[in-house]
């Protein structure tokens, strides 16, 4: 979708005569490369669209600012789902140096907000001939909702062929009044795109090293600058049965060999948390070669969590350590204190105070948001030595469950189904042992019903879509089933379903026989799927059917779970609602959420999006697809330009590594799922208070839940458009902590 407005080649050429004078003038006064960034010279150097006005009072600095009022704009721009009015201010071209870093700062406030996107500043680049460079484009977002004057900023890097940049101030929505002022562009001599988050702080700074805290939802790069704040204590807040990570960053100024950490127990007034519940791993980096979406970075990116317990630190660079505290079930709420010992070899060089506040509520073992994942057996032996494939699958399953996902696409190994003398035979083999471990011991709630075949793919029905060697349709054009298939397939369904029912697993199983059916590829695809589905339902109507598409009229009455792309979910809300009314669940999937190179908050906020847009579950098509390359060496391990799609975890590097090795993205998905429990619990408490007639208390909870809207700018995210979610991790934490306080208040009142 095209979201920028081009003012044309002529405007850009005409303004070239102005920018040299403008740059020289502003540099001589303030070092600002942008002429008239504070609008003190009126409209000089800017082009205004309709709905844009100069304001003579109320500016944070100087006498003037600019006001964008979409209610007075005649410029209507279509979005994917609707259309909004847009007001925009465009600068004259600004001369830049290729491959050079620039700091962009500006002030903004929003006095009226109806609906639409958060106001933003857009940076675009041009070649010497004024042709536009499409990537990268930088969107410096403000906030969704009203806010007082605030300063926003970002460090950006000009592309290799860039000679000019332009700045656009944008309000895009209906009923929106936004102000901008004091836009400043300056060359960054240090050339550092990465800065600590607003939540970071220095814990200890000596002549030999600096130790600092960083939030887990912010990436730490080896050469970023140090935080500006200080604090002596690491403070965490968590519920019972929750994992709570943070990053301890060590920046040594001299050689540091054999670094390691030791933890004390966390002591409280009425109990303790064992030091065994605290673990640490070293943050590693993986190269990203291709930019595949707006807002994604290339180069070395933090992602793998390396399980080394002793290692050397790099001098003169940040060395982030990922520390996780697990609050076990049964922990008594309250405040707990302990110490982190920091070592060089056998010598303890520092101790850090750790304080953990445990909220007076517990997260459920069965997740409220149902997540299902695919562990690909083809690749799970990568890097593994001396362990059976069955044991390796169990380790993957345990890891998946520890990350709060409750479903498996497949249980390995599958039973063997065969046809002997025109009768179906099923040999269960090791399936039973692994299923007992996954379903009974670990508590998985969903798994693929084995042995029913796979009819998905792009091959013609008569060529590739077969079951036990027989074609499914004898007359493909008219969707007429092969009589032999129609006789033997239900027999297999009966044998398999009776076995699962005897084991108590049928209600956890689902039948999934076709992947992403598309009407444009086969106009009768849903007629065919109905016939296969009917064969299954006729044997046992309690078998749950899953369809990987948005709700379709042909299958509406015989489908129990719909798994649709997030964009189809937003486009077809009417059909989703019809399916819900019939008792079906609506799940989503989006293969762009785990891409390496995006801000870390992209993964954590995904479950927040699912809560906001009322999806009941989600599907990850793979967590260990390494078909193209070694994931330790490139982010393209699942395919060219995949950049982490399909590979949430890493294979072990050596025999003593865990199987699998976690990533920051994988850990932050769990953080998001735990945040979802806060959202779900507060919503339930709010409903309870309403039922009890406690309307004032219910309203307080409702206001907190409404604030979640300020985190998003419309719909789920996509690679194809600007980042439509907040990058402000401080805001995310603020809402999370308000929810926790309100849950405690409501549950105890």
pLDDT of res. 722: 63
Q: Provide the residue ranges of all domains of the chain, joining segments of one domain with +.
A: 8-187, 201-362, 370-731
pLDDT of res. 225: 86
Say how far residue 534 (Cα) sits from the centre of its chain. 37
Is the model's pLDDT at 28 over the cut of 60?
Answer: no
CATH of domain 370-731: 3.20.20
For 225, the 3-state DSSP assignment is: coil
Give CATH superfamily name and number for 201-362. Answer: Immunoglobulins (2.60.40.10)
pLDDT of res. 719: 59
pLDDT of res. 189: 67
User: Same topology for domains 8-187 and 370-731, yes or no?
Assistant: no
Model pLDDT for residues 148-185, shown as the tens digit of each residue: 999 888 888 899 899 999 999 999 999 999 999 999 99
Range with lowest mean pLDDT among 111-115, 123-127, 707-711, 717-721: 717-721
pLDDT of res. 30: 47
pLDDT, the chain, mean: 91
Q: pTM score, two decimals? A: 0.80
pLDDT of res. 20: 39
Cβ contacts of 650 within 8 Å, gap of 6 or more: 304, 631, 632, 660, 661, 662, 663
pLDDT of res. 13: 42
DSSP 121-162: EEEEEE-TT-PEEEEEEEEEE--SS-EEEEEEEEEEE--TT-
Nearest-angstrom CA–CA distance, 360 and 239: 7
Model pLDDT for residues 570-608, shown as the tens digit of each residue: 999 999 999 999 999 999 998 888 899 999 999 999 999
Model pLDDT for residues 606-625, shown as the tens digit of each residue: 999 999 999 999 999 999 99
pLDDT of res. 328: 98
Range with lowest mean pLDDT among 10-24, 407-421, 459-473: 10-24
Q: What is the CA radius of gyration of the chain?
A: 28
351 has which bridge partners?
Answer: 341
Range with lowest mean pLDDT among 340-349, 442-451, 515-524, 700-709: 515-524
Model pLDDT for residues 2-26, shown as the tens digit of each residue: 333 444 444 444 444 444 333 333 3
pLDDT of res. 721: 61
Range with lowest mean pLDDT among 329-333, 473-477, 683-687: 473-477
Q: Mean pLDDT, to the nearest integer, of 425-435?
A: 97
Cis peptide before 47 (omega within 30 of 0): no
pLDDT of res. 156: 87
Percent of the chain with pLDDT over 70: 94
pLDDT of res. 187: 87
Query: Among 3.40.50.720, 3.20.20.105, 2.60.120.260, 2.40.50.100, what is the CATH number of 8-187?
Result: 2.60.120.260
pLDDT of res. 720: 58
pLDDT class for 57, splitting at 50, 70, 90? confident
Model pLDDT for residues 643-670, shown as the tens digit of each residue: 999 999 999 999 999 999 999 999 999 9
Nearest-angstrom CA–CA distance, 88 and 109: 15
pLDDT class for 82, splitting at 50, 70, 90? confident
pLDDT of res. 671: 98
Model pLDDT for residues 230-274, shown as the tens digit of each residue: 999 999 999 999 999 999 999 999 999 999 999 999 999 999 999
pLDDT of res. 80: 64
Q: Mean pLDDT, to the nearest integer, of 693-699?
A: 95
Nearest-angstrom CA–CA distance, 70 and 86: 6
pLDDT of res. 193: 67
pLDDT of res. 17: 41
pLDDT of res. 15: 44
pLDDT of res. 590: 86
């Amino acid at each position: 979708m095209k979201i920028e407005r081009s003012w044309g080649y002529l405007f850009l050429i005409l303004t070239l005569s102005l920018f040299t004078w403008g740059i020289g003038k502003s540099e001589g006064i303030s070092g600002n490369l942008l002429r008239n960034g504070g609008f003190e010279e009126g409209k000089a150097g800017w082009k205004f669209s309709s709905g844009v006005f100069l304001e003579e009072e109320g500016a944070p600095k100087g006498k003037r600012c600019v006001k964008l009022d979409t209610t007075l704009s005649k410029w209507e721009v279509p979005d994917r789902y609707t259309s909004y009015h847009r007001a925009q201010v465009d600068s004259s071209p600004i001369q830049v140096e290729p491959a050079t870093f620039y700091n962009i700062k500006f002030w903004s406030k929003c006095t009226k907000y109806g609906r639409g996107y958060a106001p933003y500043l857009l940076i675009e680049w041009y070649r010497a001939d004024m042709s536009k460079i499409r990537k990268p484009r930088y969107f410096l977002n403000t906030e969704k909702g009203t806010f007082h004057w605030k300063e926003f900023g970002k460090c950006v890097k000009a592309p290799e062929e860039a000679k000019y940049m332009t700045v656009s101030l944008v309000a895009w929505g209906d009923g929106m009044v936004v102000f901008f002022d004091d836009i400043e562009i300056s060359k960054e001599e240090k050339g550092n795109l990465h800065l600590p988050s607003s939540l970071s702080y220095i814990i200890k700074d000596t002549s030999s090293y600096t130790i600092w805290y960083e939030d887990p939802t912010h990436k730490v790069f080896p050469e970023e600058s140090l935080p500006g704040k200080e604090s002596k204590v690491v403070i965490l807040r968590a519920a019972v049965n929750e994992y709570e990570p943070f990053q301890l960053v060590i920046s040594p100024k001299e050689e540091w060999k054999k670094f390691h950490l030791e933890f004390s127990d966390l002591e409280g007034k009425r109990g303790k948390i064992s030091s065994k519940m605290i673990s640490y791993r070293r943050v590693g980096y993986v190269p990203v070669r291709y930019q595949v979406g707006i807002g994604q970075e290339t180069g070395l990116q933090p992602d793998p969590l390396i399980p080394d317990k002793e290692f050397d630190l790099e001098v003169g660079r940040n060395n982030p350590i990922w520390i996780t505290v697990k609050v076990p079930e049964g922990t008594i709420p309250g405040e707990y204190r302990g110490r982190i010992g920091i070592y060089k070899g056998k010598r303890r060089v520092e101790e850090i105070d750790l304080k953990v506040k445990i909220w007076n509520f517990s997260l459920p073992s069965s997740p409220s948001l149902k997540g299902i994942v695919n562990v690909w057996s083809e690749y799970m032996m990568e890097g593994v030595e001396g362990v059976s494939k069955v044991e390796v699958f169990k380790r993957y399953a345990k890891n998946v469950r520890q990350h709060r996902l409750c479903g498996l696409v497949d249980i390995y190994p599958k039973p063997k189904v065969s046809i002997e003398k025109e009768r179906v035979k099923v040999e269960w083999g090791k399936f039973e042992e692994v299923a007992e471990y996954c379903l009974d011991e670990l508590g998985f709630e969903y798994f693929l019903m084995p042995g029913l075949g796979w009819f998905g793919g792009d091959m013609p029905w008569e060529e590739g879509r077969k079951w036990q060697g027989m074609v499914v349709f004898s007359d493909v054009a008219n969707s007429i089933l092969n009589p032999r298939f129609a006789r033997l397939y239900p027999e297999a369904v009966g044998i398999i379903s009776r076995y699962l029912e005897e084991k108590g697993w049928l209600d956890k199983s689902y039948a999934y026989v076709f992947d992403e059916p598309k009407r444009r590829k086969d106009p009768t695809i849903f007629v065919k799927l109905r016939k296969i589905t009917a064969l299954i339902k006729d044997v046992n109507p309690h078998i749950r059917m899953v369809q990987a598409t948005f709700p379709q009229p042909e299958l509406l009455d015989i489908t129990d779970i719909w798994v649709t792309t997030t964009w189809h979910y937003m486009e077809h809300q009417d059909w989703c609602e019809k399916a819900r009314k019939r008792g079906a669940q609506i799940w989503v999937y989006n293969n762009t959420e785990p891409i390496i190179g995006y801000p870390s908050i992209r993964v954590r906020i995904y479950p927040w999006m699912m809560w906001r847009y009322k999806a009941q579950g989600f599907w990850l098509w793979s967590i260990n697809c390494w078909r193209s390359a070694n994931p330790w060496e490139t982010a393209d391990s699942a395919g060219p330009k995949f950049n982490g799609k399909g590979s949430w975890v890493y294979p072990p590097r050596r025999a003593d590594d865990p199987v699998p090795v976690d990533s920051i993205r994988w850990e932050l998905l769990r953080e998001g799922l735990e945040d979802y429990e806060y959202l779900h619990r507060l919503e339930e408490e709010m409903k309870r208070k309403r039922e009890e007639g406690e309307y004032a208390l219910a309203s307080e909870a409702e206001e907190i839940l409404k604030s979640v809207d300020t985190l998003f700018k419309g719909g789920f995210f996509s690679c194809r458009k600007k980042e439509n979610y907040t990058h402000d991790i401080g805001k995310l934490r603020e809402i999370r902590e308000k929810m926790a306080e309100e849950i405690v208040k409501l549950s105890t009142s």
